[in-house]
Amino acid sequence: MKKGRVIQSTGSWYLVDTGDKIVESRLPGRFRLEEKEVTNPLAVGDWVDFNLNDDGSGNIEKIHKRENYITRQATHGKRGEQILVSNLDQACVVQSIKQPRLKEGFIDRFLVTCEAYEVNPVIIINKMDLAKSGGKALAEELKELYTELGYKCLLTSIEDELSLKSVRALLKDKTSAFIGPSGVGKTSLINAIDPSYNLKVNEVSDFSSKGKHTTTFARLIPLSFGGYIADTPGIREFGLVNIEPWELSLFFPEMLEPRENCQFSNCTHAHEPKCGVADAFEKGEIAASRYQSYLNMLDSL
């Protein structure tokens, strides 16, 4: 029996890195039957035990317990959840300042998922070279907001070597993931920080201003300066999984203290009287964008 890490998934076959070589492996059907609540019982980043076949391929026999993972609601009408990547030191939500436009709600949903699943989050606002004065002001405003909440936030551009240097320092010797919509520049950033890969990149569609899907499957890429980066398919929506309405505010750092002042223990902070969170918002202690994100998420739950 050999041990390795899943570095790529194409649906039916998985590439497993043992440290010495990469083995193309299959996952027996019993794992899919056992994991009915997830669309992919095996995710990029998982550690597995496998047996070697005579032809050099592998049969996966065991999936090790995950330290953490990033998950979202399954798409295309499927039930359950989809695990995007597992066993991370950090996960980076990548948004572009324009082309496509930045979505604060996406960032906030991502942060809630990281809080819930014990993953260290980082915010990257990319394509700063395209930003005009209004866009630059917005990016700086968001950086200040999220930094005050305790989150690391980088403003980046593939045209700005100083910002690329900060990304390399962030990723060095860690297992990280880039997660965000198509077209925000995830793959371009990887190419810029480690040009040896020259990964395929597509432009943003002029018709829809949405990114064209370039990465069609998740993959864990070894970085030449140390560490791994998971390049994931572009996702337009980030649905929350296994979070109850009453616990949602636990994943907003700025709401932890105010919620202690609520009259009702099961307060949703949306319409109840004598609500500590609502009071904090009225006093300007909680940003309007964050409170609106909270209400939108609460409604979706």
- The domain limits of the chain are 2-65, 70-231, 245-300
76: left (phi over 0), alpha (psi -120 to 50) or beta: left
Query: Using CB atoms within 10 A of its CB, is residue 200 exposed (0-12), middle (13-18) or buried (19+)?
Result: exposed
Nearest to 132 by CA among 106, 99, 108, 167: 99
Residue 23: which of 2, 45, 46, 44 has the closest Cα?
2
pLDDT of res. 148: 97
Q: Which option is the CATH number for 245-300: 1.10.40.50, 3.30.70.270, 1.20.950.20, 3.40.50.720?
A: 1.10.40.50
Its pTM stands at: 0.87
Q: Nearest CA to 259 among 284, 239, 280?
A: 280
Q: What is the pLDDT of residue 228?
A: 94
The reported pLDDT for the residue numbered 218 is 76
The span from the CA of 289 to the CA of 284, in Å, is 11
Residues 216, 213: Cα–Cα separation, whole Å: 7
Q: Which fold has domain 70-231?
A: Rossmann fold (3.40.50)
Which of 59, 56, 57, 34 has its CA nearest to residue 48? 59
What is the SS3 assignment for 73? strand
Residue 117 has φ and ψ, to the nearest 5°, of: -110, 15
The answer to whether domain 70-231 and domain 245-300 are alike in fold is: no
pLDDT at 209: 38
On the question of a cis peptide bond just before residue 253, with omega within 30 degrees of 0, the verdict is: no
Beta-ladder partners of 85: 70
Residues 94, 184 contacting (CB under 8 angstroms)? yes
Q: What is the pLDDT along the chain (301 residues), one digit of tens a residue?
A: 999 999 998 767 899 999 899 999 999 887 766 665 677 889 999 999 999 999 999 999 999 999 999 988 766 556 678 888 999 999 999 999 998 999 999 999 999 999 999 999 999 999 999 999 999 999 999 999 999 999 999 999 999 999 999 999 999 999 999 999 989 999 899 999 998 877 655 543 333 334 343 444 678 999 999 999 998 777 777 778 889 999 999 999 999 999 999 999 899 999 999 999 999 999 999 999 999 999 999 999 8
Whole-angstrom Cα Rg for the chain? 20
pLDDT of residue 210: 40
| Parallel, antiparallel or unpaired: strands 175-179 and 228-231 | parallel
Q: What was the pLDDT predicted at 33?
A: 62
Question: How much is the pLDDT for 77?
Answer: 54
Task: Tell me the C-alpha distance between 189 and 183, whole Å.
Answer: 11
Does domain 2-65 match CATH 3.40.50.2300?
no
Which pLDDT value is given to residue 213?
39
CB 121 within 8 A of CB 85: no
Helices (H), 117-176: 133-148, 161-171
